[in-house]
Structure 1
């Protein structure tokens, strides 16, 4: 172990996307995977928002 090991950026071993993460050390393939993961998360979040809107609209129609 070198005294300079702490200066080497560590790869994200969990596979999770970290917002604000330094992208300079990622390969093109890793960047493509990151875009895919972020797109999937955006879609999941949009579906949840739509479901909540549907539930809210149903609740509003019952209480009005």
Structure 2
């Protein structure tokens, strides 16, 4: 029995869409600064995960040849 191929998720997801379309007028200066810090932390976390993925891909490419 063959499984259907898994389609990749749509970029961003619901949380990212809500974050990027949120009304910022309701926030004060301190809240906006906290928001920036949280978003920067999320960017750092995402970049670290990206590097792990790249390292895994590079290791697979080295072992099996280029896969992408």
CA RMSD of the aligned region, Å? 1.3
Matches for 1:26-41 after TM superposition, within 5 Å: 26-41=27-42
Higher RCO (CA < 8 A, seq sep 6+): 1
CA distance in 2, matches of 1:22, 1:34: 13
- Cα deviation for residue 39 of structure 1 reads 0.2
For residues 35 and 47 of structure 2, the distance between their equivalents in structure 1, rounded to whole angstroms, comes to 18
Unaligned runs of 5+ in 1: 1-16
Q: Runs ≥4 in structure 1, deviation > 2 angstroms?
A: none
CA–CA separation in structure 2 for the residues paired with 1:20 and 1:40: 19
Is the partner of 1:21 in helix, strand or coil? coil
TM-score, structure 1 length as denominator?
Answer: 0.69
Higher helix share: 2
| Partner-residue secondary structure (3-state), 1:18 | helix
CA deviation string 1:1-53 (max 9, x = no partner): xxxxxxxxxxxxxxxx8221101110000000000010001011101111100
